[in-house]
């Protein structure tokens, strides 16, 4: 499972059981100023119970220079609340440019989803990056043994 935690919305993505392909699942609303955080936490706990991920990949917001930002601190606080309710291994991964990549994917699709869905697509981008990096390199059948 992948999460793109923002101040107002949380994008959620899941992968297939072989951990090859990530797909957007949904966007969980936190409301303005996090006034629906309890509802959002309930929904995330329900999704974790439904999909039973062994790992949850969480996009870690960073500035373009790679350093932590104010958003990093806010995400970390909310993530601690998720960890209290969900039993899984949480892995932070750099989310820089995931929203831009998600918007490019959506723009490339004819009749693509509106902006309100870019958070889930960004979560899928974050999750797919992790899946790709975690996958072992295939052996070259032409290499001598």
Q: What share of the chain is helix, strand, coil (3-state, %, to 5)?
A: 45, 25, 30
* Domains observed in the chain: 2-134 (3.30.420.140)
Residue 40 pLDDT: 96
Give how far Cα 90 sits from Cα of 7, 87, 113, Å: 19, 9, 28
Residue 94 pLDDT: 82
pLDDT lower than 50: segments of the chain = 116
pLDDT digits (tens, 9 = 90+) for 39-64: 999 999 999 999 999 999 999 988 88
DSSP one-letter code for 13: E
From the list 10, 7, 16, 32, the residue with the least C-alpha distance to 116 is 10
């Amino acid at each position: 499972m992948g999460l793109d935690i923002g101040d107002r919305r949380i994008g959620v993505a899941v992968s297939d059981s072989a951990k090859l392909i990530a797909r957007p699942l949904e966007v969980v609303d936190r409301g303005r100023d996090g006034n629906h955080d309890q509802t959002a936490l309930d929904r995330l706990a329900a999704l974790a119970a439904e999909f039973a991920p062994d790992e949850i990949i969480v996009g870690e917001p960073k500035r373009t220079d790679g350093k932590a930002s104010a958003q990093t601190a806010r995400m970390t606080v909310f993530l601690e609340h998720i960890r209290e309710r969900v039993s899984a291994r949480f892995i932070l991964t750099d989310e820089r440019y995931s929203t831009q990549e998600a918007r490019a994917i959506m723009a490339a699709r004819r009749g693509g989803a509106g902006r309100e869905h870019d958070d889930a697509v960004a979560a899928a981008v974050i999750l797919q990056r992790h899946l790709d990096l975690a996958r072992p390199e295939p052996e070259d059948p032409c290499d001598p043994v």
